[in-house]
Chain A
């Protein structure tokens, strides 16, 4: 049976074990994740993650905002994949509204979503390798990440907090040279993945630090709520993009990398393969990009073009109404899940028929994945805890919300 997370408690009479607050080690442990270890020498007896240091009450804030005002809040939940959050929230509200999204907007969403996945995996790979001691990889990864952030800036005006997807489509037409720049990046990128793999995959130190470390079985992973690469690293072949497609993912061809060992190395291999698959999806999206509008034809929900506002009275009225009063969403509830770089990201949105959501809840993949930590680390060395935390790719913004 899988472990349950409870607090380590010391028996006052004993002097064999001691309590240690771990970190800062991973970039996430600088003040936002506290890991409490009970150790016997170098061996971890018990481990408990203590979270909540980054809790900002976003779910409560959402209840006081109009539907369209929540999009920028979603960026700040998982700050490494803002566009995936935007997508998941927009899909949920569009499902509540029964809104059909034009094909070009859907393909743009897929394209940017996969770039986001690459961006997020690059931060993960760089920091994970740095934790284990391979500092060079970090610099290589952030070099390519910079290219992706520049693409985001070109398309949305922001490097990180993009808010580019809107309810009913995307915010703006991408700039003229955008697709050429993405294609240039997509052509260059596979050789860069080779570079990272040259540094790590066959590196004896890397292999010794990751193979057979923090192993988790498929049954335990499912029981503890793991998803994404953490689940696929344990041999469960499940990916929401392929198995429960959204935003026209069913039109793309890609493989879902699965590894069976369930250790840190398996999760590393899954994510590195995902980098290659994602760039393949980006290529397909570029090749097959449909033409047409980028926003749904729903004037009561989607903001009008700036041009139209200056020439058409109705557009000006709709703009004023949406900004000042929001738009009413039919009563009901939806749960929309997407495959984020870390696993199943879900938005549960409840509407009571007004312009503000009654309840918005985010299912954080990391919150569930973090529960694997005791099962992974207990009975192993402290140094393996570092590798284990890195391998589940935590983002505390998403865990605490």
Chain B
């Protein structure tokens, strides 16, 4: 089963219900898309993530009503450094889509999606704890895995695997 190359041309992918819906709402919200290994990733402009999530959740044609996961990838030292990953699942349509938001390394912050899905609470706290990304509008943005007085954010690539000794 050889891998077929990824499709990154937005024009070819705009028939996908999630992309069509987002582009009809705000063409500037969609920065790009990638279809690779049967998985769809959509790059969302940073300031529209919360509204994009709310829109996809309430889409009558294909509601992505379940937030599976929120996580982050650190592409240090390249910029924009962080890529926030939201995995959405449509329980009625049995489909997944991945939303991505790129963030620069300098004081990274993004709007919280806890008002769309309360389940984002722990996920965003974990990203804040381990990557140091602030979620504005989060009701209780505190460290969740590491101790309160811990210094640094362990999953950043410039944090050594053995920790600071």
Contacts and interface: CB of A to CB of B under 8 A. Distances in A.
B87 interface: yes
Interface residues of B, number: 44
A55 B67 CA distance: 23
Given A60-B154, A344-B68, A368 B37 contact: no
B20 interface: no
B118 A60 contact: no
B152 to A, nearest CB: 12
Counting chain B CB atoms within 10 Å of each CB, the highest count among A5, A52, A99 belongs to A52
A358 B161 contact: no
Contact of A4 (B65, B121, B146, B147): B121
Most buried by B among A3, A223, A337: A223
A6 B121 CA distance: 9
Contacts of B87: 335, 346, 348, 363
A333 B36 contact: yes
Nearest to B142: A7
B62 interface: no
Given A359-B73, A370-B122, A330 B144 contact: no
Q: How large is the interface on A (under 10, 10 to 19, 20 to 34, 35 or more residues)?
A: 35 or more
Interface string B138-152: 011011111100000
B91 A238 contact: yes
B155 A59 contact: yes
Contacts of A371: 118-119, 121-122
B46 interface: no
Contact of A225 (B41, B119, B140): B119
Interface of B: 1-3, 6, 36-37, 39, 41, 65-69, 71, 73-74, 85, 87, 89, 91, 94, 96, 98, 114, 117-119, 121-123, 126, 130, 139-140, 142-147, 154-155, 159, 161
Given A51-B144, A330-B3, 9 more contacts: A3-B118, A4-B114, A4-B140, A5-B121, A52-B145, A52-B146, A96-B37, A98-B37, A368-B122
For the complex of A and B, list the 7 residue pairs with the smallest distance between their C-beta atoms, beginning with the closest.
Answer: A225-B119, A98-B3, A55-B145, A363-B69, A6-B140, A52-B145, A361-B71
Interface of A: 1-7, 51-52, 55, 57, 59-61, 63-64, 95-96, 98-100, 222-225, 236, 238, 243-244, 330, 332-335, 337, 344, 346, 348, 350, 358-359, 361, 363, 367-368, 370-371, 400-401
